[in-house]
Structure 1
Amino acid sequence: MAAALVLTAIFGPVGLCYLSVTTGLIATALATVILVISNAGAAPLLVLWPLSMVWAVIGTNSLRRAVVGGRRHLEGA
């Protein structure tokens, strides 16, 4: 979880590629579109950057639960 948080803190939405390349690319494309359409300068980054950090933490926890749950399932077989 710490690695995902640090990567998104440094790289923003691109740091989500640590969790999933598809998710990272979608988040980066979405952030780019919002920045271009909003024409508000860097102000949207004040929302998008922390949002991507929260998304990274939630995604990491979900992946960790899936992996741990998968291991328990395999151990029970």
Structure 2
Amino acid sequence: MNFLSILILAIVLVALAFAGLGITILLKKGGKFPNTHVSGNKYLRQKGIYCAQTQDKLEQKKAREEFNFKNLKVGKAE
């Protein structure tokens, strides 16, 4: 019986924790989770700091623009 009471107590505590974390989201009209991603931070965006994936995409785009593969000639060097 001791194990069962501890299990029920743990479940109740976890349920209270979830309710406490979500109380503003549940009660506020149009409530939503905050955007904690790097791109959601206005200060970092103003400084030009992005997440690693976005920075990688920007660098790949810049590299494609630097190299003009349309004028690339394949053949023997003269």
TM over 0.5: no
Query: Structure 2 length normalisation: TM-score?
Result: 0.31
Higher relative contact order (CA 8 A, sep 6+): 1
For the pair shown, the structure with the greater C-alpha radius of gyration is: 2
Name the one with the larger helix percent.
1
| TM-score, normalised by the number of residues in structure 1 | 0.31
